[in-house]
Structure 1
Amino acid sequence: MQGFLLGTLGACPSLSPTAISSPPPQVFINFRGEDLRYGFVSHLEEALKRRHINFFIDKHEERGKDLETLFKRIEESSIALAIFSRRYAESGWCLDELVKMMECVEMKRLRVIPIFIKVEPRDVREQKGDFGTRFWKLARSSRGVQIMKWKHALCSVTNKMGLTLGEKRYENDFIEEIVVEIERMLNAKWKKVLYI
């Protein structure tokens, strides 16, 4: 049970008393649930568990809670994965999480790895193509200030070095590349802490 809690990092904090003593997440995973949850993200979860990397994913978070709970998880994390897919921009929650992630980046409290799943980084950055169509459809029912924050976050995060899964690449190799990059970043962070 303890290994499971370490891997999922208290994904059910209200159900498990030992989850309270679990360390904060090392990695926050931001993605459009319906699009990736039962495929790519489930494989990524397993890879992170095997490497004993603590992560947070909202699948077990209590429904009905507001974004502040997710924002707290972002603030507790060292790294965030922004996993962009064709349907990512249909979710105001994903975009609001992305804005919070970028606020933490600007305060130098978080590093973000943009991951592109069968979507072009340029389409995400410029809100074009299929991604852009979905973004602007959501924007029609949103506020102007909120839209500007989303656009700024999309542009800022996609200007960072990221990882792309194209049509002709094995998903398991891509996931391994992501996990290796996370481990590299975590190791660099710990070396920095040790030598301060």
Structure 2
Amino acid sequence: MVTTSVGPQVFINFRGEELRNTFISHLHYRLRRDGINAFMDKDEDAGQDLNNLFKRIEQSEIALAVLSSKYTESHWCLEELVKIKECSMKSEGRNNKLLVIPIFYKLKTSTVAELDGDFGLNLWNLWRLPGPGRDRDNRIVKWNEALEDVLSKKALIWAETETGYVLVL
């Protein structure tokens, strides 16, 4: 097992409720078993704020952004994605930029591009939520830019086939 005394090599961004105990737990386990220091939110002490997760993103070499149908239900997922985009565009004190690998989990890229179905509806519903100190218009612009950035990258797609689900490029 990999020690966590150094920053994570891989940061896994995902909607917890939907994937934590299935796809993500298996992915996290396999990465760590193979000697890769992978980080997911359960590796952080409970009660920490979003800035601690931002630090983990900054420390990482690779970010896996696992988009699913419920991804846009989470303000935290989208804020992490904005930070991932920012780190992928500048080196943040590292020799290289953050490499971002999107994984579309049972989700078509066209659904993200068109903000279609529940994915789009959840995003707009989240944007509409009031909150102290939240800049709604700026927030939706940043979220949309981060989603567009993910769409511009080479991605892995966890898709349904006649024989089950497969991971394709």
TM-score (norm 1): 0.75
Aligned-residue identity in percent: 49
How far apart are the structure 2 equivalents of 1:23 and 1:61? 14
The answer to whether 1:146 aligns with 2:139 is yes
For 1:4-153, list aligned pairs within 5 A.
Answer: 6=2, 9-10=3-4, 22-108=5-91, 109-141=97-129, 143-153=136-146
Q: Is the 8 A contact 1:82 1:115 kept in 2?
A: yes
Q: Number of aligned pairs? A: 158
SS of aligned partner of 2:85 = helix
Q: Which runs of 4+ in 1 moved over 4 A?
A: none
CA distance in 1, matches of 2:72, 2:26: 22
Deviation at 1:170, TM superposition (A): 5.1
Kept in 1: contact 2:28–2:39 (CA 8 A): no
Determine the C-alpha separation between the residues in 2 that align with 1:93 and 1:50: 27
More displaced stretch, 75-84 vs 123-132: 123-132
Q: Could you say what secondary structure the match of 1:167 adopts?
A: strand
Q: Is the 8 A contact 1:78 1:111 kept in 2?
A: yes
Q: Residue 170 and residue 45 in structure 1: after superposition, are their counterparts in 2 closer, same or farther (change >3 A)?
A: farther
Q: Which runs of 5 or more structure 2 residues have no equivalent in the other structure?
A: 92-96, 131-135
Q: CA deviation at 1:64?
A: 2.3
Find the counterpart in structure 2 of residue 156 from structure 1. 149
C-alpha deviation, 1:134, in angstroms? 1.1
Deviation at 1:61, TM superposition (A): 1.7
Q: Which runs of 5+ in 1 are unaligned?
A: 11-21, 179-196
Rg larger in structure: 1
Q: Which amino acid aligns with 1:151?
A: N
**Bigger share in helix:** 1
Partner of 2:133: none
